[in-house]
């Protein structure tokens, strides 16, 4: 049952006056309204029956503190019972009871399992801050992904199959009372087999035989856990990537995968893709995939979430991984300018030898020859290409002929991808000093990734599975956003102090800056400007 919030302050609340005015948590409590969380999650509670539940706003705030200071469930509750700033941020009295640490895990699983709630909270808080003038309404956005190590080790397929067999035996014994004698419990010692491929095949044959025998001899309808394990083993074995060491590598976390930070630097875990503003460095959208996730796959979804913040987007920044036709087209639809370096995988033209004129749709070589016709081809693999044909007679007597043309062909045929002419234009734009200067804005993304991993626990997964990792990433994004908002508020509050003193002297009445919120300062500043004859400055 969701009870009404008690807003009555106790006599001990005077202790909150000891909290510094520029403290991160005090600034957030005074300027950001979290009450919308209760309304957002009220449908997941029963209003009339059951024990009174801790309000969602309180629980989400505790999870924010947990990520803000990288604490365990037990430690964050302990600190909330001792730290005045924590209590003030939570909106409780110093003597109020706090939820048991186990309730945090239950709340995460039952109320935030879909992760869409955290997306909505991130969007709502950004919208609030834009309306109050804390954040800028117009900003470029940048996108990048960062990796997170799984909360478990990775194992070879043969080790995984051994663990599966042992787990099946244990579960059969618990549910069936005994393991049928027909089932061979002597697991092969794969370590004695020098050839790894042979070891995998041996373990696979053994596990397949074990699964088959369990299905035959155990009444699975009366043994649900055994049935689930058998189905899980069959699913793992059926994946062709498994035997190639590209599938499941851990029984504990079966959704983590091998990914690469660079060509020779693999990791085992997950990748999280963030979209954030370049001006205020606020994360607007988050998506988490396994370690093999390809950057840019969910670009459209992240952009749609960002657009819900009502931020106007004039520029989009990304690294080479985002130089893809669908992404560039989406940015063009947005009427924004793309600042994304050309990827050699998508655009392969030797620009020292060939140049393109988009108006005439012609390619020119360094010797002055030009194309006279083109043909469109669709290969058997489905890939579309253009063949541009240069003038044969000019090629016949060209001094670069031996370098440019191989075989018996008379005239040069330039085969290019279907998007190459359009990519050529992007390539020319990126040679300008203006592009290089603008692209420096993307550096803020790397700093934010480092901040989340080094100070807020995103370097390693806290739990297991893709949903849990997604929740961890989004809660971390929410926490660093609030941290950034507090930093902006603190900076703006300091900038308003001198103006506020003038306003105080003008009216002849003394105000104390530290007792007035940033929003109130803004209102007073506008009134001062009006009476001074400078409204709108």
pLDDT, one tens digit per residue, over 326-376 is 999 999 999 999 999 998 878 888 888 899 888 888 999 988 899 999 898
- Beta-carbon contacts of residue 150 (< 8 Å; ≥ 6 apart): 250, 253, 256, 268, 269, 270, 291, 460, 461, 464
Residue-wise pLDDT tens digits, 209-247 = 999 999 999 999 999 999 999 999 999 999 999 999 999
Q: Exposed, middle or buried, 425 (CB in 10 Å: 0-12/13-18/19+)? A: exposed
Q: How many residues does the chain have?
A: 537
- Beta-carbon contacts of residue 500 (< 8 Å; ≥ 6 apart): 511, 513, 516, 521, 524, 525
Residue-wise pLDDT tens digits, 491-520 = 887 765 554 444 444 444 444 444 455 555
Residue 247: half-sphere exposure toward Cβ, Cα within 13 Å:
16
Asked whether the predicted pLDDT for residue 533 surpasses 60, the reply is no
Confidence (pLDDT) at 415: 87
Residues 442 and 321: their CA atoms lie apart, in Å, by 14
The band of 48, judged by pLDDT with boundaries at 50, 70 and 90, is low
- Specify the DSSP class assigned to residue 508: T
Helix residue spans in 334-465 (DSSP H)? 392-396, 401-404, 420-429, 433-439, 443-455
Residues 179 and 182: their CA atoms lie apart, in Å, by 8
Confidence (pLDDT) at 113: 67
> How high does pLDDT run on average in the chain?
87
Q: Are 477 and 283 in contact (CB under 8 A)?
A: yes
The band of 526, judged by pLDDT with boundaries at 50, 70 and 90, is low
Q: Is 273 left (phi over 0), alpha (psi -120 to 50) or beta?
A: beta
Residues 116 and 285: their CA atoms lie apart, in Å, by 11
Residues 338 and 266: their CA atoms lie apart, in Å, by 30
Element (H, E) at 462: none
Element (H, E) at 383: none
Q: Please tell me which of 7-16, 23-32, 34-43, 45-54 the model is most confident about, judged by mean pLDDT.
A: 23-32
Confidence (pLDDT) at 521: 56
Under DSSP, is residue 221 helix (H, G, I), strand (E, B) or coil?
A: helix
Residue-wise pLDDT tens digits, 380-389 = 777 888 899 9
Under DSSP, is residue 272 helix (H, G, I), strand (E, B) or coil?
A: strand
Which contacts (CB < 8 Å, 24+ apart) does range 368-371 have? Answer: 368/394, 369/394, 369/395, 369/398, 369/412, 371/414
Residue-wise pLDDT tens digits, 293-328 = 999 999 999 999 999 999 999 999 999 999 999 999
Residues 88 and 18: their CA atoms lie apart, in Å, by 11
Residue-wise pLDDT tens digits, 187-218 = 999 999 989 999 999 999 999 999 999 999 99
Asked whether the predicted pLDDT for residue 114 surpasses 90, the reply is no
Over residues 388-395, mean pLDDT = 90
Residue from 276, 328, 269, 317 nearest 438 by CA: 317
DSSP string for 226-258? HHHHHHHHHHHHH-HHHHTTSS---SS-TT-EE
Query: What does the buried/exposed string (b/e) look like for 349-385 if buried means 16 or more CB atoms within 10 Å of the residue's CB?
Result: beeeebebeeeeebbbbeeebebeebeeeeeeeeeee
**The residue to which tokens 């700033």 are assigned:** 85
Q: What is the 3-state secondary structure (H, E, C) of 97-119?
A: CCCCHHHHHHHHHHHCCCCHHHH
Q: Exposed, middle or buried, 406 (CB in 10 Å: 0-12/13-18/19+)? A: exposed
- Chain centre to alpha carbon of residue 161: 32
DSSP string for 39-88? HHHGGGS-SSSSSPBPPHHHHHHHHHHHHHTT--HHHHHHHHTT-HHHHH
Q: What is the 3-state secondary structure (H, E, C) of 115-175?
A: CHHHHHHHHHHHHHHHHCCCCCCECCEEEEEEEEECCCCCCCHHHHHHHHHHHHHHHHHHH
Residue 478 CB coordination number (10 Å): 22
The band of 537, judged by pLDDT with boundaries at 50, 70 and 90, is very low
Residue 166 CB coordination number (10 Å): 13
Asked whether the predicted pLDDT for residue 524 surpasses 90, the reply is no
Residue-wise pLDDT tens digits, 178-188 = 999 999 999 99
Q: 315-317 and 141-149: which strand pairing?
A: parallel
- Specify the DSSP class assigned to residue 340: -
Residue-wise pLDDT tens digits, 153-187 = 999 999 999 999 999 999 999 998 899 999 999 99
Asked whether the predicted pLDDT for residue 283 surpasses 50, the reply is yes
- Beta-carbon contacts of residue 209 (< 8 Å; ≥ 6 apart): 184
The band of 1, judged by pLDDT with boundaries at 50, 70 and 90, is very low
Helix residue spans in 275-373 (DSSP H)? 299-307, 325-333
Residue-wise pLDDT tens digits, 51-92 = 556 788 999 999 999 999 999 999 999 999 999 999 999 999
Residue with the larger pLDDT of the pair 12 and 90: 90
Residues 121 and 34: their CA atoms lie apart, in Å, by 9
Residues 139 and 129: their CA atoms lie apart, in Å, by 14
Residue 410 CB coordination number (10 Å): 12
Residues 87 and 93: their CA atoms lie apart, in Å, by 7
Residues 163 and 238: their CA atoms lie apart, in Å, by 17
């Amino acid at each position: 049952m969701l009870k009404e919030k008690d807003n009555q302050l106790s006599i001990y609340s005077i202790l909150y006056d000891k909290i510094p005015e520029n403290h991160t948590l005090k600034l957030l409590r005074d300027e950001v309204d979290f009450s919308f969380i209760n309304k957002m999650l009220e449908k997941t509670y029963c209003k009339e029956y059951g024990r009174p539940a801790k309000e969602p706003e309180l629980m989400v705030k505790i999870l924010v503190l947990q990520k803000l200071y990288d604490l365990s469930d037990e430690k964050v509750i302990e600190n909330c019972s001792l730290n005045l700033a924590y209590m003030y941020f939570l909106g409780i009295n110093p003597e109020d009871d706090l939820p048991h640490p186990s309730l945090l895990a239950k709340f995460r699983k039952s109320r935030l399992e879909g992760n869409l709630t955290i997306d909505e909270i991130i969007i709502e808080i950004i919208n609030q801050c834009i309306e109050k003038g804390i954040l800028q309404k117009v900003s470029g956005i940048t996108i990048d992904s960062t990796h997170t190590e799984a909360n478990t080790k990775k194992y070879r397929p043969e080790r995984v199959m051994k663990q599966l067999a042992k787990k099946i035996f244990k579960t059969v014994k618990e549910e069936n009372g005994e393991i049928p004698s027909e089932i061979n419990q002597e697991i092969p010692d794969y370590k004695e087999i020098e050839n790894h491929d042979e070891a995998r095949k041996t373990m696979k044959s053994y596990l397949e035989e074990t699964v088959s025998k369990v299905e035959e001899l155990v009444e699975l309808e009366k043994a649900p856990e055994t049935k689930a394990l058998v189905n899980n083993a069959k699913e793992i074995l059926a994946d062709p990537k498994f035997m190639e060491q590209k599938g499941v590598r851990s029984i504990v976390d079966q959704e983590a995968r091998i990914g690469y930070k660079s060509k020779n630097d693999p990791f085992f875990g997950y990748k999280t893709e963030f979209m954030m503003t370049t001006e205020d460095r606020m994360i607007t959208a988050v998506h988490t995939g396994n370690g093999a996730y390809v950057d840019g796959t969910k670009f459209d979804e992240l952009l749609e979430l960002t657009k819900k913040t009502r931020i106007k987007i004039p520029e989009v920044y990304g690294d080479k991984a985002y130089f893809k036709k669908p992404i560039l087209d989406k940015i063009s639809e947005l009427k924004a300018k793309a600042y994304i370096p050309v990827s050699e995988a998508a655009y392969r033209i030797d620009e020292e030898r060939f140049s393109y004129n988009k108006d005439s749709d012609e390619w020119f070589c360094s010797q002055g020859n030009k194309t006279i016709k083109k043909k469109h081809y669709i290969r058997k693999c489905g890939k579309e290409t253009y063949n541009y044909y240069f003038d044969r007679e000019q090629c016949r007597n060209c001094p670069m002929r031996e370098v440019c043309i191989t075989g018996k062909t008379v005239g040069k045929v330039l085969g290019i991808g279907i998007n190459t002419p359009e990519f050529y234009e992007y390539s020319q734009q990126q040679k300008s000093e203006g592009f290089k200067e603008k692209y420096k804005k993307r550096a803020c993304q790397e700093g934010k990734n480092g901040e989340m991993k080094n100070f807020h626990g995103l370097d390693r997964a806290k739990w297991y599975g893709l949903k849990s990792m997604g929740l961890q990433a989004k809660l971390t994004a929410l926490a660093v956003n609030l941290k950034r908002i507090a930093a902006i508020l603190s900076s703006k509050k300091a900038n308003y102090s001198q103006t506020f003193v003038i306003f105080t002297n003008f009216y002849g009445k003394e105000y104390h800056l530290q007792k007035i919120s940033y929003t109130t300062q803004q209102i007073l500043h506008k009134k001062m400007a009006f009476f001074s004859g400078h409204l709108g400055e």
